[in-house]
Every structure is written in structure tokens, then in C-alpha cells.
């Protein structure tokens, strides 16, 4: 197995952009993780409002200046990165798990189960995503019996966002896995497992899933970018992550009205989103070429 991994790693390394992106992502993650450190080094508090220092230009103590409430931009950017990255990764993972489960069941059992699940998947894909997310974000959760533990606090907004994006984000992985499962279920090793009495669950988990991991990994890494975009849109519209928790999206919300006075405030969070998303997209591309050379243009 290790020789196959080495081969894959070598193919990945040939993709310079993908490699660069991988490095960039690691750096971003480290920077975001180091936010408290930077905060201490600069001697500022990211949440501290200092109305006398509004719209400060870049300078000592504030490498990227201050925002409309006098808070340091760099520190907020880094904390925002923590939030956006964590939310995106958790959501991508959750969506992949749900998508894989649905895809496996649909592909392996076929027949009406597949028909039903695929209609469901197609239905979700056909929905206008953003309007749906907006409604889901605007719902009064206290009306749903088992979710009323979630209130309107900013911390809850994190859970909400993960939940609603996961609800609509599983479809790509589901389709992928279903296609793979459909073709794998006629493989002879699956037939062999059936002939020895293996049950559906065992076959899906032991025989099919490990053999579809590559496309799942690719699809998941490609989905992270999209998830970041959706989270930032929702936060930008005021429906996602609530202040004072910083996310790149809600930083842009504040910046929008100030576009005339302080355009730089709109620039930084947006560029951060842009770079992160493009990095994940390149990474996904590189992974795809590395893991499935037939699909690429080799």
C-alpha cells in the first residue's frame, strides 16, 4: 500500500500550483491558529473597542490599521480565519459523511431505494440554494421541538451555520459515491462477500467505501471552497455568524457601508476569502490529478 501512496504523492507534487496551495493552506491555518499569539505580540485585544483610534492607518501596533470601531484589523482577520476555516472544514466533513452514507445505500441496493434517494438528491440540487439557506437561517428555531437548545447567541450561530450548509451540501458526494457504488457492486469481490453471507452494511463499509475514498477526498476538498463562500455570503447578509464573533463574511458586512471612507476594510477580508477558496480549489484539482490520473489530461 505504501508504494501506491508514494506514487500518488509524487503525482501530486508534479502539480506546482496544487503543492503551493497546500503549503498556503497550511500557512493560513497556522496563522489563524496563532491569532492569540499575534494578539499578545502586538499588545492589543481584538475585541477592544477604541473609538479614538477609528480607521487608523497601517502602522506600528496595527499592521493593517484599525476598523470602524478601532479594533485591530489583522487580529480580527486572523480570528475570523479561525472561525471560517473551522466551520468550513467541519461542514465539509459532515456533508461528506452524510453524502457518502446516502450514496452507498443508493448505489449498493439499487432498485427503488436508489430511485427514491436519487430523486431526493436531485430535488435538493434543484433548489435555489441561497434563498433556501436564507430561509433556513431566518427560522425561529424554538418552533422545532428538538432544536430549541439553540438560541440566538453568536455561539449558536456557529452551530446553525454548520447545520444548514450541511443540509444542502451533501449532494455532490452522494452522487459521486452512488455512481461508484453502482459500478462496484457487480465486482466479483463484492459477489464473493455476498456469497459468504456478508450483510449489506458490512459490504458497504468494508468493500465499497474503502474503494471509493479517492473521489470522496477530492470532492470534499473541492467543496470546502464553496462552503467558505456560502458561509461568508450568509455572514455578510447578517444571517450567518453573528458579531462579535468575527468571520471574514461579517467583517465585510460592516465594511460595505464604509466603502467610500475606508475601502481597505473591504479589501482585506475579501482577499482572505478569495485566497483561501482558490487555494482549496487548486488543492482539490491537484488531488484529483494525483488520485485519478485517468480523469486528468495526462
Q: Which residues bind other proteins (CB under 8 A)?
A: 1, 17, 119, 122-123, 126-132, 134-136, 138-140, 143-144, 187-189, 191-198, 202, 206-207, 210-211, 225, 229, 232-233, 236-237, 252, 255-256, 259-260, 263, 266-267, 269-270, 273-274, 277-278, 281-282, 285, 297
Q: In terms of CB distance, is 66 or 253 closer to other proteins?
A: 253
Least distance CB 40 / other proteins (angstroms): 30
Collapsing DSSP states into helix, strand and coil, what is residue 234?
Answer: helix
Quote the least distance from Cβ 82 to other proteins, whole Å: 18
Whether the Cβ atoms of residue 153 and residue 83 lie closer than 8 Å to each other: no
Grid cell, residue 128, equals: 435555489
Q: Which of 25, 16, 61, 10 is nearest to 278 (CA)?
A: 25
CB of 248: closest distance to other proteins in angstroms? Answer: 9
Instruction: Give 8 or 47: the residue with its C-beta nearer to other proteins.
Output: 8
| Residue 53: CB minimum distance to other proteins, A | 24
Query: Cell 468575527 appears where?
Result: 246
- Closest to 231 in 3D by CA, of 171, 174, 157: 157
Q: Where are the alpha helices (DSSP H) in the chain?
A: 2-14, 16-33, 35-42, 73-109, 111-126, 129-138, 154-169, 171-184, 188-195, 200-202, 213-236, 248-257, 263-291
Shortest distance (Å) from residue 55 CB to other proteins: 16
Residue closer to other proteins by CB (options 163, 229) is: 229
Residues 6+ apart with CB under 8 A from 248: 77, 80, 81, 84, 232, 235, 269, 270, 272, 273
Q: In angstroms, rounded to a whole number, what is the distance separating the alpha carbons of residues 296 and 289?
A: 5
Q: Which of 44/165 has CB closer to other proteins?
A: 165
CB of 94 to other proteins, least distance (A): 21
Sign of CA dihedral 136, 141, 147, 152: positive
In the complex with other proteins, which residue's Cβ is closer, 170 or 282? Answer: 282
Amino acid at each position: 500500500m505504501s508504494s501506491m501512496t508514494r506514487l500518488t504523492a509524487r503525482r501530486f507534487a508534479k502539480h506546482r500550483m496544487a503543492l503551493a496551495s497546500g503549503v498556503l493552506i497550511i500557512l493560513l491555518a497556522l496563522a489563524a491558529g496563532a491569532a492569540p499569539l499575534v494578539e499578545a505580540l502586538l499588545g492589543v485585544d481584538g475585541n477592544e473597542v477604541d473609538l479614538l483610534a477609528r480607521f487608523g492607518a497601517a502602522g506600528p501596533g496595527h499592521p493593517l490599521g484599525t476598523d470602524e470601531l478601532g479594533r485591530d484589523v489583522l487580529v480580527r482577520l486572523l480570528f475570523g480565519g479561525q472561525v471560517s476555516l473551522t466551520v468550513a472544514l467541519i461542514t465539509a466533513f459532515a456533508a461528506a459523511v452524510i453524502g457518502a452514507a446516502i450514496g452507498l445505500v443508493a448505489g449498493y441496493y439499487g432498485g427503488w431505494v436508489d430511485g427514491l434517494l436519487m430523486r431526493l438528491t436531485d430535488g435538493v440540487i434543484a433548489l435555489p440554494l441561497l434563498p433556501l439557506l436564507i430561509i433556513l437561517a431566518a427560522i425561529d428555531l424554538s418552533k422545532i421541538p428538538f432544536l430549541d437548545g439553540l438560541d440566538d447567541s453568536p455561539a449558536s450561530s456557529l452551530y446553525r451555520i454548520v447545520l444548514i450548509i450541511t443540509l444542502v451540501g451533501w449532494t455532490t458526494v452522494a452522487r459521486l459515491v452512488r455512481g461508484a457504488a453502482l459500478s462496484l457492486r457487480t465486482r466479483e469481490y463484492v459477489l464473493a462477500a455476498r456469497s459468504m453471507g456478508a450483510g449489506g452494511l458490512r459490504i458497504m463499509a468494508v468493500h465499497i467505501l474503502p474503494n471509493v475514498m479517492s473521489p470522496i477526498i477530492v470532492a470534499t476538498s473541492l467543496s470546502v471552497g464553496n462552503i467558505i463562500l456560502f458561509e461568508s455570503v450568509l455572514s455578510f447578509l447578517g444571517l450567518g455568524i453573528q458579531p462579535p464573533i468575527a468571520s471574514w463574511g461579517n467583517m465585510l458586512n460592516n465594511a460595505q457601508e464604509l466603502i467610500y471612507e475606508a475601502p481597505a476594510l473591504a479589501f482585506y477580508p475579501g482577499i482572505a476569502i478569495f485566497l483561501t477558496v482558490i487555494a482549496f480549489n487548486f488543492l482539490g484539482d491537484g488531488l484529483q490529478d494525483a488520485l485519478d490520473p485517468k480523469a486528468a489530461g495526462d
